[in-house]
Amino acid sequence: MSTAARCPAVLIAAPASGQGKTTVTAALARLHARQGRRVRVFKCGPDFIDPGWLQLASGAPVHQMDLWMTGEADCRARLHQAAQQADLILVEGVMGLFDGEPSAADLAQRFGLPVLAVIDASAMAGTFGALAHGLQHYRAGLPWAGVLANRVAGERHAQMLRESLREPEHWLGALLRNPALALPERHLGLTLASELGDAMQRLDAAADALAGTPLGQMDAAALQRWAVDFPVPDPARAWPALLAGRTVAVARDAAFCFIYEANLDTLRALGAELAFFSPLADAALPRCDALWLPGGYPELHAAAIAANRAMAESLAAHVAAGRPIWAECGGMMALFEELVSAEGESTPAWGLLPGRVSMQKRLAALGPQQLALGDQVLRGHTFHYSTCATPLAPVARTARPGSAPAPEAGEALYRQGPVRASYFHAWFASSPEATARLFLTGDLP
C-alpha cells in the first residue's frame, strides 16, 4: 500500500524576475547531481525554456507545476512520485514570490515547500535584510529555507548583506558578480540550452561557484532540515482512448520546440501514436492522421522555413486530404503567407492561412488563458511578441481564468478547413476530451 513519501524539497523564489532564480536552481541541481544524488526539478508556472536548462542540470525530465493550469491534483501526484525516487526536489518559482494568481508562494504553502529567496544584491546593502524579512514574513505561515545573495561585488559587500539580516541563520551565502555565470537571453527568455555547445560547462561553472557557499556545502544530512512529507495523491482517473489507432505527427526542432512533456504524455494516454519530424530539415511529413505544430521560434528560422518548399507541399497535401492540424503560437505563425521581422523584412511562410505575422519589439500578450470547446475547457497560457493580420474571422476566443470570452479580448482561434490555429498554448491534460477534438475531424472549433 502506497504511503506518504518524505524528501528534502525547496522552492527557489525571488522578489522579481531577473534575479537569477534559474541560474541558482540549475547550479544547485547540477552540484548535487555531480555528487551522485538523484535530483528532481519542477518549474512553477507555464514555461518552455527554463525546463531545458533544469533538465540538463539534473539529468531528469522537468515538468511544470501550476495550481491553476496543471491543477493541484497533478502537482500533488508529481511531488509524491518524485519524493519516492529522489534525494532532493527543487521547484523553481516564477516572477516574484507573490506575483500571479496563483503565485509561487501559494504553491509553497499548499505543499509545505520551504522557500529559498534569491535576491540580486548588486545595488543594495542594508536594504537586503529588509527585503529578505519582508519576503519571509509578508504572509503568515510561509515555510522558509533562507536567502542567497546574487551578483555581489566582493567579500566586504557580502559581509554587509549578511549583517543586515535579522535572522543570520537564514544566510545561505553569496554568489559574486560574474558575467560568465549568466545564462544568455533573447526576446522570449533564456536561450535554449540545446542551442549552446557550452551549456554544460556554464552549468558546471555556476555549480562550482555555488559550492563555495553555505547552501552549496550542505550534504545529504544537512538537507534533511528541509524534508517534506508528500501525502499519497488521489487515484488518477482513466482517460478514454479517443485517439486510439491514430498517428499524430509532432513538429520538433529548433524552430518548433515549445512542447510540454506532459502534453506528449496526454496524447499517448489518449491512445495516439506519435511521430516526430523536423519542418526545417525533413522533406515531408511522416505518415499520420493529424498534425501538431507547437510554438517556438519560426521568426529565427524564417529563411530555412521558406527554403524548404518540399515540406510546404507536404503540409498542403495534408490539408487537402482533410487531415486535422492543431497549430499554436509559433506553429500558427508559420502557417500564414509571410513572416515580417521587427525590422520590416518579409519572408514567405507556408501560406496555408491567409495573412501575415509581424514581429514587434514589445510583448504583445502574456498570461493564463482558457479555451472553451463545446462543453469542455482547455487551460493554458499566451506569450508572444508578434501580431497577425488576417481576413479570417475567429471562430472562438480564449478568456482569462474566471472570465467569459469577449470580442477583441483573449486570443483568437482561427479555422480554415481542417486547420485550427491560435496563439494559445494548451495544457492538454486539463481536458483530454477537448484535446482529442483538436486532432479529430469535426464541426466544432
Other Cβ atoms closer than 10 A to 71 = 16
Cα separation of 425 and 294, whole Å? 8
Residue 356 near residue 337, CB atoms below 8 Å = yes
Cα separation of 411 and 400, whole Å? 10
CA separation, residue 325 to residues 66, 291, 292, 339, 419 (Å): 27, 5, 6, 19, 5
* 377: helix, strand or coil: strand
The grid coordinates listed for 226 are 528541509
Cα separation of 123 and 73, whole Å? 41
Q: Are strands 338-340 and 356-359 parallel, antiparallel or unpaired?
A: parallel
Q: Which one, of 26, 9, 30, lies nearest residue 76 by Cα? A: 9
Q: Which one, of 437, 440, 245, lies nearest residue 323 by Cα? A: 440
Positions marked catalytic: 329
Phi and psi, residue 80, nearest 5°: -65, -45
Other Cβ atoms closer than 10 A to 76 = 18
**Sign (positive or negative) of CA dihedral 438, 439, 444, 445:** positive
Cα separation of 84 and 78, whole Å? 10
